[in-house]
């Protein structure tokens, strides 16, 4: 039976109770939380796929918190008396490693007490011998004090040289024997109260799998024993804990394969990773590494991830696709309020948020969701806005963060993509690359998204005599999906005007000055409009911008980032924007901003052509298009 929902009652975020357990602080990922709880109980691996900032690393930390606390161990490296290049590995209960090393040092000091006595005896003899020589050679027959003095100097110098040589010999051997007798703690869990969480994102092979350091002094008794040069990798430090690897596909194929071996065996030998290093000659006994792997990434990660590694996770664990939005309900709005309280508590430098400021953040969460009736779960971006607003409140010495602080933060702490687009738009308008007045043939203003910010993208088409090229030629650093969408557009054009272009014309499309590249199919209706305009010499009204995907039958399909695109149109001063009718409910913009623009929802390409093109004197052509696909 579901628990009864009780609305949060608060005046500021100080009144909101923050959960103590990390797993209870994860918001909006209920399915993932349930899986992580099972994974902690049964020690299962987990693959998390989703957008950045949706809580993947937090789930990994939460899993570590849920693991048993009494099983932690220290791992030590010992010298191998039979093979110097194969150090021995032993485990002891957590915290006992340091005690074992201290005990070995104490025993080693007792073992070398005899050396100290011998050195003292040699020192005494070294001081007595010169005086004996002086007295002896001064008193013998034929001797003299001059001879005795010469022998004193000779014996003194000889004794000192002998003493120094013996001291150096004993000291070098003592150091070597001492190092050989004292183990090294390579995984130290002293005073650790819970299973460890290690973030191995971006780690190189040595840091992840362990390494053996190079020894520049390999001879003459000055070298460091092999077991002293062993360095545990993160897979070993995460033994009985959690190893988190974000963007796991960025690991090399070799490293992914070795990680798979470690997961399968639960132990992994440490060796040097540089072929030119003395460490490459050293191979330890297998070192325990029974960790839980939390691998993370986006959908692209699945293409580049080692198939066997993913199979291991799937066969011995779970795969989760993270949510990026949740329904806009009172209960979920309260969760956003709890998140704000958590961020304030974590930061420790910003004041609490008022209830009105919390409501303003919730409004921004709606906008960022880019989906009607939903709230975003991209909390990293939302957290940045919370801290920026808090900084403004601190600067003004305010006791609480208020809505006006959030407004200032949104204007001041813009995302890098938005700053780039603002400058791009300003520059292109100045040089008339972006034109929002008048009419032009073959020229249309499309809309695109750069990061999470919208931008106007001018597109131009030209039809030339020829007919030799069978497909539309498109330029402007187009991605794979964008190129395929152009082919869909060519099907529409051929259906309407196939006889007009067959063996007569070639069609070229240019996305103007797209140095950042274009990906996706949201410019399809813009491309179709530009081509038809160029082919039939029908002008396009430049005070329109548009976005929408296009099927081969002429249906306008929904696209992403509609809110950001409409915001970009408003900032550019455009008065009319065409969007897919299915996206109309996804536009979340302030009412006062919406008054600045007219939004025109469409379902078919004929509606687009009829709205944005000047058909004066060419109504018959428009009717021809409408008859081909009745609306």
DSSP state, residue 468: -
Longest dimension (CA), the chain: 144
DSSP codes joined into one string, 66-95: HS-STT-EEEEEE--SS-TTS-EEEEEETT
* φ/ψ (deg, to 5) at 515: -70, -25
The residue among 315, 234, 225 whose CA lies nearest residue 279 is: 225
Strand partners of residue 551: none
- If one counts every other C-beta atom within 10 angstroms of the C-beta of residue 203, the result is 18
DSSP state, residue 607: H
DSSP state, residue 556: E
H-state helical runs in 182-284: 205-209, 234-237, 253-265
DSSP state, residue 283: B
Task: Specify the 3-state DSSP secondary structure of 601.
Answer: strand
- Record the tokens describing residue 572, joined without a space: 């550019």
Q: Torsion angle, CA of 559/563/569/572, rounded to 10 degrees?
A: -140
Task: Specify the 3-state DSSP secondary structure of 241.
Answer: coil
DSSP state, residue 470: -
Contact 401, 352 (CB under 8 A): yes
- If one counts every other C-beta atom within 10 angstroms of the C-beta of residue 330, the result is 10
CA atoms of 466 and 502, how far apart (whole Å): 9
Return the active site residues. 522, 565
Contact 457, 448 (CB under 8 A): yes
Sheet holding 197-199, edge to edge: 197-199, 242-245, 292-297, 45-49, 317-321
- Record the tokens describing residue 232, joined without a space: 């545990």
CA atoms of 72 and 539, how far apart (whole Å): 74
Contacts of 232 (CB under 8 A, 6+ apart): 75, 186, 187, 210, 270, 287
* φ/ψ (deg, to 5) at 91: -115, 145
CA atoms of 45 and 316, how far apart (whole Å): 6
CA atoms of 202 and 208, how far apart (whole Å): 9
H-state helical runs in 266-371: 299-304, 307-315, 330-347, 355-369
The residue among 609, 540, 542, 599 whose CA lies nearest residue 570 is: 599
Please state the separation of Cα 506 from the chain's center in Å: 45
CA atoms of 366 and 455, how far apart (whole Å): 20
Q: How far apart are the first and last CA of the chain?
A: 49
CA distances from 613 to 79, 544, 572, 586 (A): 83, 10, 21, 26
CA atoms of 273 and 613, how far apart (whole Å): 65
Task: Specify the 3-state DSSP secondary structure of 362.
Answer: helix
CA atoms of 379 and 385, how far apart (whole Å): 10
Helix (H) or strand (E) holding 327: strand 325-327
* φ/ψ (deg, to 5) at 95: 90, -15
């Amino acid at each position: 039976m579901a628990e009864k929902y009780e609305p949060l009652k608060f005046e500021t975020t100080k009144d909101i109770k923050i959960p103590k357990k990390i797993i209870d602080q994860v918001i909006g990922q209920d399915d993932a939380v349930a899986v992580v709880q099972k994974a902690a109980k049964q020690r299962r691996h987990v693959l998390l796929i989703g957008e950045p900032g949706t809580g993947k690393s937090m789930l990994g930390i939460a899993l570590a918190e849920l693991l048993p606390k009494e099983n932690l161990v220290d791992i030590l490296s010992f010298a191998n008396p039979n093979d110097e290049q194969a150090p021995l590995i032993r485990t002891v209960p957590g915290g006992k490693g340091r005690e074992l090393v201290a005990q070995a040092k104490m025993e080693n000091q007792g073992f070398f007490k005899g050396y100290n006595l011998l050195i003292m005896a040699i020192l005494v003899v070294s001081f007595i011998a010169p005086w004996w020589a002086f007295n002896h050679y001064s008193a013998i027959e034929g001797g003299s004090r001059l001879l005795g003095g010469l022998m004193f100097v000779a014996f003194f110098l000889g004794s000192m040289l002998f003493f120094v040589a013996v001291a150096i010999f004993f000291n070098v051997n003592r150091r070597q024997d001492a190092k050989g007798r004292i183990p090294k703690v390579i995984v130290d869990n002293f005073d650790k109260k819970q299973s460890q969480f290690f973030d191995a994102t971006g780690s190189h092979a040595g840091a992840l799998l362990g390494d053996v350091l190079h020894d520049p002094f390999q001879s003459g008794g000055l070298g460091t024993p092999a077991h002293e040069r062993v360095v545990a990798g993160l897979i070993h430090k995460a033994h009985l804990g959690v190893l988190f690897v974000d963007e796991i596909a960025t690991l090399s194929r070799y490293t992914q394969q070795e990680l798979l071996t470690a997961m399968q065996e639960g132990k992994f030998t440490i060796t040097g990773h540089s072929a030119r290093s003395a460490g490459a000659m050293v191979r330890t006994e297998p070192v325990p590494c029974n960790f839980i792997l939390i691998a993370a990434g986006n959908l692209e990660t699945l293409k580049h991830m080692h198939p066997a590694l993913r199979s291991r996770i799937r066969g011995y664990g779970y795969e989760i696709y993270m949510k990026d939005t949740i329904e806009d309900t009172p209960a979920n709005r309260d969760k956003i309020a709890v998140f704000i309280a958590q961020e304030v508590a974590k930061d420790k430098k910003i004041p609490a948020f008022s209830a009105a400021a919390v409501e303003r953040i919730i409004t921004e969460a709606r906008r960022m969701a880019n989906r009607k009736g939903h709230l975003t779960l991209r909390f990293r971006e939302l957290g940045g806005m919370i801290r920026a607003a808090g900084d403004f409140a601190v600067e003004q010495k305010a006791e609480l963060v208020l809505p006006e602080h959030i407004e200032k933060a949104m204007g001041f702490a813009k995302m890098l993509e938005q700053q780039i687009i603002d400058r791009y738009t300003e520059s292109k308008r100045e040089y008339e690359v972006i034109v929002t007045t008048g009419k032009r043939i073959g020229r249309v203003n499309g809309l695109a998204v750069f990061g999470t910010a919208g931008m106007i993208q001018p597109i131009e088409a030209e039809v030339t005599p020829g007919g030799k090229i069978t497909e539309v030629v498109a330029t402007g650093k187009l991605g794979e999906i964008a190129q395929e969408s152009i082919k869909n557009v060519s099907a529409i054009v051929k259906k309407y005007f196939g006889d007009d272009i067959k063996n007569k014309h070639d069609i070229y499309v240019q996305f103007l000055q797209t140095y950042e590249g274009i990906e996706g199919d949201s410019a399809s209706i813009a491309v179709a409009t530009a081509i038809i305009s160029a082919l039939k010499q029908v002008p396009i009204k430049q005070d329109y911008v548009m976005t929408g995907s296009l099927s081969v039958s002429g249906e306008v399909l929904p696209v992403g980032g509609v809110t950001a695109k409409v915001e970009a149109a408003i900032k550019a001063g455009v008065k009319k924007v065409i969007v897919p009718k299915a996206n109309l409910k996804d536009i979340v913009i302030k009412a006062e901003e919406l008054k600045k623009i007219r939004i025109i929802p469409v379902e078919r390409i004929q509606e687009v052509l009829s709205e944005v093109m000047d058909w004066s004197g060419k109504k018959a052509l428009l009717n021809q298009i409408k008859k081909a696909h009745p609306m």
